[in-house]
Amino acid sequence: MAQLRRMRGRRSMPVPGDVAFVRLLEDGSTVVERIEPRSSALTRRTVAGRSKTIAANVDTLVAVAALAQPSPRAPVLDRLVAFAELEGIAAVMVLTKPDLAAPERTAHWRQLYAKLGYATAVVDPKHGTHVEELRALLCARASLLCGVSGVGKSSIFRALGGEAVVGDLSRHGIGRQTTTSARLCRFEHGFLIDSPGIAEFGLGAIAPRELASAFVEMPPFAEHCRFTDCTHLTEPGCAVRAAVASGEIDAGRYASYLQILRAPSGHAMVQ
Which CATH number does the domain housing residue 71 bear?
A: 3.40.50.300
Give the pLDDT confidence of 118-136 residue by residue, as tens digits: 999 999 988 888 999 999 9
Domain of residue 222 covers: 208-266
Does 242 lie in the same domain as 151?
no
Does 166 lie in the same domain as 45?
yes
Number of domains present in the structure of the chain:
3
Highest mean pLDDT among 4-13, 194-203, 220-229: 220-229
Q: With H, G, I as helix, E, B as strand and everything else as coil, classify residue 123.
A: coil
pLDDT tier at 65, thresholds 50, 70, 90 = very high
Does 184 lie in the same domain as 110?
yes
Q: Please name which of 162, 92, 149 lies closest in space to residue 123, comparing C-alpha atoms.
A: 92
Burial of 167 (0-12, 13-18, 19+ CB in 10 A): buried
Which residues have C-beta within 8 Å of that of residue 215, sequence separation ≥ 6? 78, 82, 85, 253, 256, 257
Does 123 lie in the same domain as 255?
no
| Lowest mean pLDDT across 32-41, 146-155, 261-270 | 261-270
Which CATH number does the domain housing residue 261 bear?
A: 1.10.40.50
Measured distance CA(232)–CA(84) in Å, rounded: 22
> Which is it for the CA torsion 148, 150, 154, 157, positive or negative?
negative
Last residue of a domain, one of 201, 220, 245: 201
Q: What does the pLDDT read at residue 170?
A: 36
Does 215 lie in the same domain as 196?
no
Does 111 lie in the same domain as 27?
no
| Lowest mean pLDDT across 39-48, 49-58, 62-71, 210-219 | 39-48
Q: What does the pLDDT read at residue 47?
A: 55
pLDDT tier at 98, thresholds 50, 70, 90 = very high
Does 122 lie in the same domain as 48?
yes
Last residue of a domain, one of 148, 179, 201: 201
Would you say residue 138 lies in a domain? yes
With residue 116 as reference, give the H or E element that holds it: none
Average pLDDT over residues 12-23: 82
Q: With H, G, I as helix, E, B as strand and everything else as coil, classify residue 3.
A: coil
Asked if the peptide bond before residue 37 counts as cis, ω within 30 degrees of 0, the response is no
Q: C-alpha angle with apex 126: 124 to 128, nearest 5 degrees?
A: 65
Does 254 lie in the same domain as 141?
no
Does 157 lie in the same domain as 141?
yes
* Position 208 pLDDT exceeds 60: yes
What are 196's strand-pairing partners?
none
Give the pLDDT confidence of 81-93 residue by residue, as tens digits: 999 999 999 999 9
Would you say residue 271 lies in a domain? no
* Position 6 pLDDT exceeds 60: no
Q: What does the pLDDT read at residue 267?
A: 59
* Position 114 pLDDT exceeds 90: yes
Would you say residue 240 lies in a domain? yes
Average pLDDT over residues 176-187: 61
pLDDT tier at 96, thresholds 50, 70, 90 = very high
pLDDT tier at 169, thresholds 50, 70, 90 = very low
Does 79 lie in the same domain as 173?
yes
Last residue of a domain, one of 185, 201, 217: 201
* Position 173 pLDDT exceeds 60: no
Average pLDDT over residues 235-254: 98
Would you say residue 235 lies in a domain? yes
Does 22 lie in the same domain as 49?
no
Does 231 lie in the same domain as 97?
no
